[in-house]
Amino acid sequence: MNKDLLKMSFEDALSELENIVRGLENGQMKLEEAITAYERGAALRRHCDLKLNEAEMRVQNILDRDRATNDSAAQHDGTAPGARDVTS
């Protein structure tokens, strides 16, 4: 992947990809320009996929940490599922 893509944000890559798609749909490019644009668009799509996967993993990690924190707190205060009531 190009170094410029590695530094590109998801939003910037998506915007450039949308511009490429509009240009290709317009049909006014010469064949070589269209092929070059298509190649760049494919690289941008892969970059966007990677960024989305990274974001999804980060969110999942946050949810997992939150779940673990809540489970740990519930075990300490006796509200965990299956916790015995020792006050009776």
Q: Delimit the domains of the chain by residue range.
A: 8-76
User: Quick one: fold of 8-76?
Assistant: Helix Hairpins (1.10.287)
CA dist 8 → 24, 46, 87 (Å): 22, 12, 58
Q: Residue 82 pLDDT more than 90?
A: no
Structure tokens that stand for 87 in this block:
């006050």
Q: What value does the mean pLDDT of the chain take?
A: 88
pLDDT tens by residue, 28-59: 999 999 999 999 999 999 999 999 999 999 99
> pTM for the full model?
0.73
